[in-house]
Structure 1
């Protein structure tokens, strides 16, 4: 694993910068985290063993461990730059572990510390997967979550039955983001450009660009063509072995589906 010459303050600064960039797209981001953690505590208690799926910088792990100090988290992701931020942030916290794995590889669960897990949590990450690979991933998760455990996914889950509402929301959000960009907010590409200019992280940023492309140069570096509805997510999770599944939170563009094993 590459060692990066950043101190604790720098890791936290980059974590906060990531949060602000994500909130530029999702001003209700903390609200979905709040509901996610409350549902986890309600169903599996306040000391869960959590798999932070497609963890990125460890945003969910950070909030789980802050709210539930006796929890344990395992973050899994493929992005070397985001994992570097996660590992740097939690380097002195034995409650958090991070694993490099490609979720499209059918053998990725074998790379995890031994399960099963009380909860698998993910947010704004799985939309890069197309429908059939995501269905296959859900089938694998049914074997990762313990009996009585939970899976929660908060992500883009559009309702195509309301095109005029969707168009109005899209325009409103575009105007909001433009105002905030004019005030200096970083978008996805701008954030990655800034990260690549950080001397201690430039190498791992280039490793990320070699895998997925440079977001500052490529308009879309992951799937933006196949989004599934909340109803599809719930039905698919029941089909692959979860006992119950339904929406537990929604915004005008996104939703969170909870599945009980």
Structure 2
């Protein structure tokens, strides 16, 4: 499997393009990152060892290392194209590693330990496990099981944070109005030339330096430019569910530390 595209790929340009595409969906994306990293610093200091879970292009790792130059990060994901961008961006930076793993496989923590050359046990090797806009593709029970695995990777006093879509279904009229307003914003931005999810993947596949790894990605998940939905769109858990589940699986405290009308950042403290 391809792990790196040819060196002529413009890694930073693609990182910036990814950020703009994500901001088309999440105009407050940088604010959630800011709160996530400030809270990480408050609870575990400025030299944390971080697991960037479902890391994609390494957006969290990028911001973490700029804010905390003495941090170390391990990114895990299964998307070969996004991992290629992450590896290209951080090539030569010994503070960051990236590992290909499928979080739906039961043995992924053990496989991560093998990749890192260490045994990951109940002592918890990470000061923080951070993830954003990634776990919404998991249904409720697999996500509950994943949270239990994550609890075993966070040291005593360490943190887990998940920033993602966490709707409140108790306010249908509010939700409908916000949805309509947001759709108008997105359509306006498309008219101004913004790329949506499918458009971004189409552009990536047209870059000669990345076309091959894009095809590898499409073979695994389908081509987002052709498939309307390649994520779970049926089971979204509320912020209250996330906090309660984190407490159930072994976190001493858990609560929402940031929220927008549709998304939230939930923190669990071991």
Which TM-score applies when normalising by structure 1?
Answer: 0.98
Give the 5 Å matches for 1:1-261. 1-7=2-8, 10-112=10-112, 113=116, 114=118, 115=120, 116-261=125-270
Distance 1:152 1:123 in 2: 8
Distance 2:3 2:12 in 1: 18
Count of paired positions: 260
Q: Deviations over 1:29-77 (max 9, x none)?
A: 0000000000100000011000000000000000000000000000000
**By how many angstroms is 1:95 displaced?**
0.3
Q: Deviations over 1:71-122 (max 9, x none)?
A: 0000000000000000000002110000000000010012222451000000
Distance 2:247 2:3 in 1: 40
Distance 2:265 2:6 in 1: 37
**By how many angstroms is 1:145 displaced?**
0.5
**By how many angstroms is 1:7 displaced?**
4.1
Q: Check conservation: 2:3, 2:83, Cα contact below 8 A.
A: no
Q: Check conservation: 1:124, 1:156, Cα contact below 8 A.
A: yes
Distance 1:6 1:195 in 2: 15
Q: Check conservation: 1:102, 1:108, Cα contact below 8 A.
A: yes
Q: Check conservation: 2:4, 2:87, Cα contact below 8 A.
A: no
Aligned to 1:249, the other structure's residue is in SS state: strand
Which TM-score applies when normalising by structure 2?
Answer: 0.95
Q: Check conservation: 2:3, 2:80, Cα contact below 8 A.
A: no
Any gaps of 5 or more consecutive residues in structure 2?
Answer: none
Any gaps of 5 or more consecutive residues in structure 1?
Answer: none
Q: Check conservation: 1:99, 1:111, Cα contact below 8 A.
A: no
The two structures, once aligned, show a CA RMSD in angstroms of 0.9
Aligned to 1:76, the other structure's residue is in SS state: strand
